[in-house]
Amino acid sequence: MQSPTHHPVAPDTPQAVLSRVFGYTAFRGQQAAIVEQVAAGGDALVLMPTGGGKSLCYQVPAILRHRRGQGVAIVVSPLIALMHDQVGALEEAGVHAAFLNSSLTGEEASRIERELMSGRLTLLYAAPERITTPRFLAQLASLQERGLLSMFAIDEAHCVSQWGHDFRSEYLQLSLLHERFPEVPRIALTATADELTRADIIQRLQLQDAQVFISSFDRPNIRYLIVEKNGSPREQLLRFVREEHEGEAGVIYCQSRRKVEETAEWLQSEGLNALPYHAGLDADVRRRHQDRFLREDGLIMVATIAFGMGIDKPDVRFVAHLDLPKNIEAYYQETGRAGRDGAPAEAWMTYGLADVVNQRRMIDESPADEVFKQGQRGKLDALLALAEATDCRRVRLLNYFGEASQPCGNCDNCLSPPQTWDATEAARKLLSCIYRFHQRGERFGAGHLIDVLRGKATDKTRQYHHESLSTWGCGADLSEPQWRAVLRQLIALGHVATEGEFNTLALQDGARAVLKGEVELRLREAEEKKPRGKTKAGRTTKPKADPSLGLDAEAQQRFEALKAWRSEVAKEHGLPAYVIFQNTTLAEMARQQPGDLAELGEISGVGAKKLEAYGREILRVLGR
Ligand code: ADP
Ligand code: ZN
């Protein structure tokens, strides 16, 4: 052997970097191919779901290229609030990285710029608006002249697309990088899958020559559950959290700021550890809440969609929606924040008639042009179809992203197939009742309509003499929730529209076909209110808390001790605990009880630098 060292593998291969620096044994999925492409100087567009492992796709090539003397990798990232933790994680692994953003003092920024210009840095994170300043571009040009600009990584690349849900105009400027530095390799990464966005990214970032890597968008460890709003949605939510996720970290999405605050307060009053997050809160408060969510165990974040992008906390065990998201892309992104660590996680949503009405109205009332609105309506319809589905949710979800799959066995519909009923006749009754109102020049909302259908006399029915209508009481055989479900479906299908401030109902063109009996309507059985208690809303199986770790009592104790030690270290370093070691890594240590440093170093997630820095301490905590 020529090599004088004792490395089992040549030190400058992707595999060696993966195991020595990150402590992992094997690349996942397409990581190896992507690393190879970029390390060799090619361009890449990477579409990989959240939790798929995008970071390594640019970090490993950056390390390899730096070792070959090719200088620094520039990482474009939209979220300055998270750069600190990302850089902290790299430094913990022994990789020299830094960030430049507005949170730094002038002095700190100058120091980092000197590091940058010296070529010592392996990765530099910066926001797009900084990267496209003349000053920064000049610095890049100077690096480039000296052969010290190794590559660009553009994270959250969907931000360049207006079709995406996080459009940022600063991203449009990033085509400059290619124009100014055409020979520097670029890798763009996103978890947004749809084709429109994909095409947009390629065009706007001029990635026509990039190799495109598309991973499966399935997140098999996420269980999808969608329930109808039934009585009090937040009671439903509370039951879900208490019964399935006591003490675990989760995100609860609400549409409005007010609802975020009310829900967080209410959960707190119920004894849960919940915090609010929305764009209306003071920047300081927002930052503090986000920090606590990342750093503390088992916190629940109640948030608007302002929260989440780039949050790479691996152990979020559930994502709940109290309101319907805008479309399937948004639903997929938001739910995707659960279970990055690959352990079982749940995506739970409750939805009802009001959600359908609100979302439709938001589209109608938006100032956008009609073509755009039509597109939005189509996307909403696809989401409603997912919510109303009686077959596998995952099949539908993946199908939306152009992926074919088999029923998953890990969604509510697979686990307990819902009952369906033929609602064609009911739909006709409902539509003809609205038709009678129209004939009399009247408009009413859902509540009154259902009263008339069920023959429930009220002041209003008397006032309008509706007891004499031919449709009076014609639907007494159905319950109110059933009628709501029928109406929801009819609105979702566009046969009925809601209008004005009181959401009065109006027949649309499509209603005629239903009235004539040309359209069959099958609905899921409306779930009757379940008493609070042990019953698990139609659920059959559910792995209990800590399913991922599966530790016996003694190992669990060691695990707790390791966690306590980790939280001290994390505090000292000002970093989230998972940056030091992830739960799955600590659990492995607790299970295997390594006897010495060599054995400890074999555990997934323990790289050379961490072994050196923490190895002895960990063995001590394990009583070795
Ligand atoms: P993404 O950015 O795609 O959402 P991350 O890069 O944050 O995903 O990776 C998700 C998780 O998977 C992280 O905890 C990361 O450490 C882990 N991971 C990624 N690649 C590997 C691998 N090859 N082996 C083991 N763990 C990995
Ligand atoms: Zn399924």
Q: What is the CATH number of the domain that holds 594?
A: 1.10.150.80
Q: Whose CA is nearest to atom 16 of ligand 1?
A: 53
Cα(344) to centroid of ligand 2, in Å? 15
- Examine residue 84 and state whether it is found in any structural domain, yes or no: yes
**Residue 441, number of CB atoms within 10 A of its CB:** 6
- 199 in the same domain as 73: yes
Looking up tokens 């190896």 gives 32
Q: Is the predicted pLDDT of residue 313 greater than 60, yes or no?
A: yes
Cα(345) to centroid of ligand 2, in Å? 14
- 386 in the same domain as 243: yes
CATH number at residue 461: 1.10.10.10
- CA 269 to chain CA centroid, Å, is 27
Supply the DSSP symbol for 155. Answer: S
Nearest ligand 1 atom to alpha carbon 50 = 4
- Examine residue 590 and state whether it is found in any structural domain, yes or no: yes
Cα(219) to centroid of ligand 2, in Å? 12
Q: Which of 369, 395, 419 is at the close of a domain?
A: 419
Nearest ligand 1 atom to alpha carbon 191 = 3
Alpha carbons 204 and 117: distance in angstroms, whole number: 29
Of 163 and 505, the structure prediction assigns the larger pLDDT to 505
Alpha carbons 290 and 301: distance in angstroms, whole number: 8
Average pLDDT, the chain: 90
- 233 in the same domain as 210: no
- 243 in the same domain as 207: no
Calculate mean pLDDT across residues 334-349: 93
Q: What confidence category does residue 491 fall into, taking pLDDT thresholds of 50, 70 and 90?
A: confident
- 554 in the same domain as 505: no
Burial class for 130, CB neighbours closer than 10 Å (0-12, 13-18, 19+)? middle
- 138 in the same domain as 232: no
CATH number at residue 292: 3.40.50.300
CB 277 within 8 A of CB 252: no
Q: Which ligand has an atom closest to residue 18 CA?
A: 1
Q: Which of 214, 243, 268 is at the close of a domain?
A: 214
Coil, helix or strand at residue 346: strand
- 566 in the same domain as 467: no
Cα(391) to centroid of ligand 2, in Å? 7
Cα(179) to centroid of ligand 2, in Å? 46
Cα(445) to centroid of ligand 2, in Å? 35
- Examine residue 357 and state whether it is found in any structural domain, yes or no: yes
Q: Which ligand has an atom closest to residue 336 CA?
A: 1
- 33 in the same domain as 94: yes
Beta strands in 193-245 (DSSP E): 211-214, 222-228
Q: Which of 419, 436, 471 is at the close of a domain?
A: 419
Strand-pairing partners, residue 222, are 345
Q: Which residues line ligand 1 at a C-beta cut-off of 6 Å?
A: 24, 27-28, 31, 48, 50-56, 312, 314, 340-341, 582
**Residue 463, number of CB atoms within 10 A of its CB:** 8
Q: Which ligand has an atom closest to residue 386 CA?
A: 2
- Examine residue 2 and state whether it is found in any structural domain, yes or no: no
**Residue 365, number of CB atoms within 10 A of its CB:** 9
pLDDT at position 308, please?
Answer: 86
**451, two tokens:** 């009263």
- Examine residue 89 and state whether it is found in any structural domain, yes or no: yes
**396, two tokens:** 């539908």
Supply the DSSP symbol for 527. Answer: P
- Domain interval for residue 348: 222-419
The per-residue pLDDT for range 75-113, each reduced to its tens digit, is 999 888 789 999 999 999 999 999 999 889 999 999 999
Residue 346: name the closest of 551, 541, 550, 559 by CA.
Answer: 541
- 241 in the same domain as 377: yes
- 60 in the same domain as 180: yes
- 415 in the same domain as 446: no
Burial class for 505, CB neighbours closer than 10 Å (0-12, 13-18, 19+)? buried
How open is the CA angle 496-498-499, to the nearest 5 degrees?
A: 135
The per-residue pLDDT for range 352-411, each reduced to its tens digit, is 888 888 888 888 888 888 888 888 888 888 899 899 888 999 999 999 988 999 999 999
Calculate mean pLDDT across residues 563-592: 92
Percent of the chain with pLDDT over 70: 94
Which alpha helices (DSSP H) does 493-552 contain, by range?
511-515
Coil, helix or strand at residue 276: strand
- Examine residue 534 and state whether it is found in any structural domain, yes or no: no
Q: What confidence category does residue 548 fall into, taking pLDDT thresholds of 50, 70 and 90?
A: low
Q: Is the predicted pLDDT of residue 163 greater than 80, yes or no?
A: no
- Examine residue 4 and state whether it is found in any structural domain, yes or no: no
Q: Which ligand has an atom closest to residue 221 CA?
A: 2
- 146 in the same domain as 57: yes
621 Cβ contact partners less than 8 Å away, ≥ 6 residues apart: 558, 561, 562, 565
Angle formed by the axes of helices 106-118 and 134-145, nearest 10°: 20
Domain count for the chain, please give it. Answer: 4
- Examine residue 8 and state whether it is found in any structural domain, yes or no: no
